[in-house]
Amino acid sequence: MFRSRPWLMAMRWHDLLFMHWPIPPGKLRPLIPPQLELDTFGGEGWIGVVPFGMRRVRARFTPPLPGIGAFPELNVRTYVKHQGKPGVWFFSLDAASRLAVRMARRTFCLPYFDARMSLNRQDQTIHYRSLRTHRGVESCSFEARYRPTGAVYHTVPGQLDDFLTNRLCLYSINRRGRLLRGDIHHPPWPLQPAEAQIQINTMTQALGVVLPDTPPLLHFARQLDVIAWAVTAY
């Protein structure tokens, strides 16, 4: 359906780390809207904390704009389905661009928040910091160093890494409580195994979700070009 309409936004995601933990479905189900079905793998729900950078962010037929063209972003997410269509449900998206935060809140009805953030690469290692500064909401923070540790590969359908990363739509809720879906398109993820040293991670604290005291499942991607369509109401 979405391919019959022109895409709205283009962007490049870079220096991205997928961090995933298994969470009992009963703890995640109350946190998502009743219109959506929690998507599970191996009987587990999954929560992801995903730091990365944005570049070349632009609307269709326009160049990147100052203040919105490049900035770090950090999202907290789980996986859902609606009418059989798998997608992402975002609990939060922190960004170091006040303009991008406000545009995304209005255009995609997503829970974006202002944050003070930095992303620096030294050789192959990414040094990442984020502190939520959005007015009127609970502060949270993240600090880590991470890097790829192996060759690029592509996922295979039916495997866990494909379930966690190969998601071509997001779901959100507008102010009237109506379900929205936004589709995206990109080439296959150029994933690499990764390692990370996490100094601080309180990103799930406001949700009441305590992450397991076990290392997360990690996947790295150097960069990926993405296009996105406007959200559609269901």
pLDDT tens track for 198-225: 999 999 999 999 999 999 999 999 999 9
CA distances from residue 215 to 8, 142, 171 in whole angstroms, order as listed: 37, 16, 28
**79-90 as b/e, with b when 16 or more CB fall inside 10 Å?**
bbebeeeebbbb
Residue 2 has pLDDT above 60, yes or no: no
Phi and psi angles of residue 144, each rounded to the nearest 5 degrees, phi first: -160, 160
In tens, the pLDDT along 128-148 reads 999 999 999 999 999 999 999
The mean pLDDT value for 30-49 works out to 97
Domains, the chain, in order of start with CATH, read: 2-233 (2.40.400.10)
The pTM for the full model equals 0.95
43-56 mean pLDDT: 97
Give the phi and the psi of residue 100 in degrees, each rounded to 5. Answer: -65, -40
At 87 the three-state DSSP class reads strand
